């Protein structure tokens, strides 16, 4: 199917010509022409993403006989109201909708199957299935785990092109991974940058909406500043439900050379086998706190994690290491605690258990993010990319707004380590008579260690 500036014509086998109205915007044309394996289209509300997604799927189904497509949204009712009804209205007799199969059927045997995925558990029903094209609508409402399951479904014996199309807005549980892959283009091992493309869609690109509903932009302009930046201008650093909206990279992120040489240094650690997050911290003579460097690595044993922390501290004279209290629990397999195992590694700083109270801890982080005399009391070096990525991506807990959500779990480790660090309230270098911990020492300290 080709789209012209006036209307699209599709010639069927019986020579019937169906005229489909609609004029694509330049951004929608760019989306139609995308050839990357994974293409994300979005950024702001009202950008015409759903309209373009439907036409892209129809175009491919008409071009390739027997194409298997999957269109996914969080819930089936959302899918029906946002896509099935528009499909029937826009394409008339071109497509047959079969509710029993949850599929849109074309005369040439191509199909668009309808799926839903409200949680990680729902994704399991798609394991082992094969599709030529997968479209995920509102991808930022789904976790990276769900995305990985669908990536594995993008396969088949045919020679059809394998494509995945995502529409997205800033915010939601999937904000961090969508931003990482498509906006920041920060790739991990096994991810080919050539496979990922992003098309920024703004409401200003959607002439149909601005003409038919001229008040829509005015309503977006009237929103609070940070929400307006996300919904109107598609800024990915601010979004609805963000736990730390005060975080601003322009203010809180600094170059490594800005950090003073005369500082007290220590390490803060959040450990899990899925991820070690270790932050090298510094406190200057004015009480300002710096995140100097980090070591964030997955799948490390306790001993390997301790070796990485020792490497992080090499040459830094780190006075102590504050870590999550569960490391003091004894393991059934060895009879030793994580604290004992890690503290026995050469170069590991003396360990002390963190004050891990969540809500008071997050309040302290918020306090340090605040400006004092025009300057923040917390600065994060560019040598801490994982903390810079994850801190602004934290979401508010739906049941306790004062707490950060533990979902998606993958972005919580570095912020947790920062919370442990700031709860120590480490004294500044000028306070020579004070303890390294200015406030009450945590309940477990290095004196517990017995080799």
| DSSP state string for 296-356 | EESS--HHHHHHHHHHHHTTT----EEE-GGGGSBPTTTS-BHHHHHHTSTTPPPEEE---
DSSP 181-206: IIIS--PPTT--GGGEEEEEE-GGG-
pLDDT interval class at 445 (50, 70, 90):
very low
CB 266 within 8 A of CB 430: no
Is the bond preceding residue 408 a cis peptide, omega within 30 degrees? Answer: yes
Q: How many CB atoms lie within 10 A of CB 204?
A: 16
Q: Which two tokens stand for residue 280?
A: 């090298």
pLDDT at 53: 93
CB 81 within 8 A of CB 72: no
Q: What is the dihedral of CA 70, 75, 78, 81, to 10 degrees?
A: 60
Average pLDDT of the residues in 338-355: 95
Every domain of the chain with CATH number 3.30.420.280 lies at 249-448
Residue 172 has pLDDT above 90, yes or no: no
Express each pLDDT in 11-43 by its tens digit: 444 445 555 566 788 888 999 999 999 999 987
pLDDT interval class at 103 (50, 70, 90):
very high
What is the Rg, in whole angstroms, of the alpha carbon atoms belonging to the chain? 26
Which residues in 118-183 belong to E strands, given as ranges? Answer: 133-136, 163-168
Q: How many CB atoms lie within 10 A of CB 185?
A: 13
Express each pLDDT in 255-291 by its tens digit: 999 999 899 999 999 999 999 999 999 999 888 999 9
Torsion sign, CA atoms 419, 425, 430, 432: negative
Residue 350 has pLDDT above 90, yes or no: yes
Residue 139 has pLDDT above 90, yes or no: yes
Match 């302009």 to its residue by tokens.
Answer: 221
Q: How many CB atoms lie within 10 A of CB 417?
A: 29
Residues recorded for the chain: 451
CB 308 within 8 A of CB 331: no
CA angle 15/19/25 to nearest 5° reads 135
Every domain of the chain with CATH number 3.40.50.300 lies at 7-231
Q: What CATH topology corresponds to 7-231?
A: Rossmann fold (3.40.50)
Match 């009237």 to its residue by tokens.
Answer: 222
- Does the reported pTM lie above 0.85? no
Contacts of 335 (CB under 8 A, 6+ apart): none
CB 147 within 8 A of CB 174: yes
pLDDT at 440: 37
Comparing CA positions, the residue from 85, 74, 77, 24 lying closest to residue 51 is 24
Can you tell me whether residue 113 is helix, strand or coil?
strand
Instruction: Kindly tell me the burial class for residue 322, based on how many C-beta atoms sit within 10 Å of its own C-beta (0-12, 13-18, 19 or more).
Output: buried
pLDDT at 11: 40
Contacts of 395 (CB under 8 A, 6+ apart): 172, 173, 175, 241, 242, 243, 404, 405, 407
pLDDT at 376: 86
Express each pLDDT in 175-188 by its tens digit: 999 999 999 999 98
Residue 216 has pLDDT above 70, yes or no: no
Distance CA(32)–CA(1), nearest Å, equals 10
Which residues in 121-263 belong to E strands, given as ranges? Answer: 133-136, 163-168, 196-201, 253-254
Express each pLDDT in 367-397 by its tens digit: 999 866 668 899 999 999 999 999 999 999 9
Share of the chain above pLDDT 70, in %: 80
CATH 3.30.420.280 fits 249-448, yes or no: yes
């Amino acid at each position: 199917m080709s789209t012209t500036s006036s209307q699209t014509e599709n010639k069927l086998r019986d020579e019937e010509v169906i005229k489909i109205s609609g004029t694509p915007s330049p951004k929608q044309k760019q989306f139609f022409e995308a050839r990357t394996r994974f293409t994300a289209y979005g950024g702001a509300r009202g950008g015409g993403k759903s309209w373009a997604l439907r036409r892209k799927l129809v175009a491919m189904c008409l071009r390739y006989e027997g194409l298997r497509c999957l269109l996914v949204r969080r819930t089936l009712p959302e899918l029906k109201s946002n896509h099935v009804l528009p499909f029937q209205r826009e394409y008339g007799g071109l497509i047959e909708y079969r509710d029993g199969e949850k599929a849109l059927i074309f005369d040439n045997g191509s199909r668009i199957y309808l799926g839903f995925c409200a949680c990680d558990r729902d994704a399991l029903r798609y394991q082992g299935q094969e599709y030529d094209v997968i479209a995920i609508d509102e991808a930022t409402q789904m976790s990276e785990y769900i995305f990985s399951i669908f990536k594995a479904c993008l396969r088949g014996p045919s020679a059809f092109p394998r494509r995945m199309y995502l529409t997205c807005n800033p915010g939601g549980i999937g904000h961090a991974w969508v931003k990482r892959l498509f906006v920041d283009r920060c790739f991990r091992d096994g991810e080919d940058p050539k496979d990922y493309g992003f098309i920024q869609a703004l409401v200003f690109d959607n002439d149909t909406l601005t003409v038919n509903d001229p008040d829509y932009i005015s309503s977006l302009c009237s929103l609070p500043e940070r929400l307006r930046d996300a919904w109107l201008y598609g800024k990915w650093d601010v979004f609805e439900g963000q736990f730390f909206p005060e975080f601003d990279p322009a203010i809180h992120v600094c170059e490594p050379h800005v950090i003073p040489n005369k500082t007290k240094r220590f390490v803060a650690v959040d450990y899990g086998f899925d991820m070690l997050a270790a932050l090298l911290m510094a406190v200057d003579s004015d009480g300002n706190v710096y995140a100097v460097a980090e070591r964030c690595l997955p799948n490390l044993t306790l001993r390997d994690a301790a070796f990485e922390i020792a490497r992080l501290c090499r040459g830094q004279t780190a006075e102590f290491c504050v870590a999550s209290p569960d490391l003091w629990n004894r393991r059934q397999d060895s009879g030793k605690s994580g604290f004992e195992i890690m503290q026995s590694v050469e170069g590991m700083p003396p360990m002390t258990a963190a004050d891990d109270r969540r809500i008071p801890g997050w309040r302290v982080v918020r306090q340090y993010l605040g400006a004092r005399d025009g300057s923040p009391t917390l600065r994060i070096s560019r040598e801490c990319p994982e903390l810079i990525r994850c801190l602004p991506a934290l979401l508010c807990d739906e049941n306790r707004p004062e707490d950060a959500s533990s979902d998606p779990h993958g972005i919580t480790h570095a912020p947790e380590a920062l919370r442990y660090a700031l709860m120590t309230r480490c004294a500044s270098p000028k306070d020579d008579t004070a303890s390294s911990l200015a406030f009450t020492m945590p309940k477990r300290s290095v004196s517990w260690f017995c080799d």
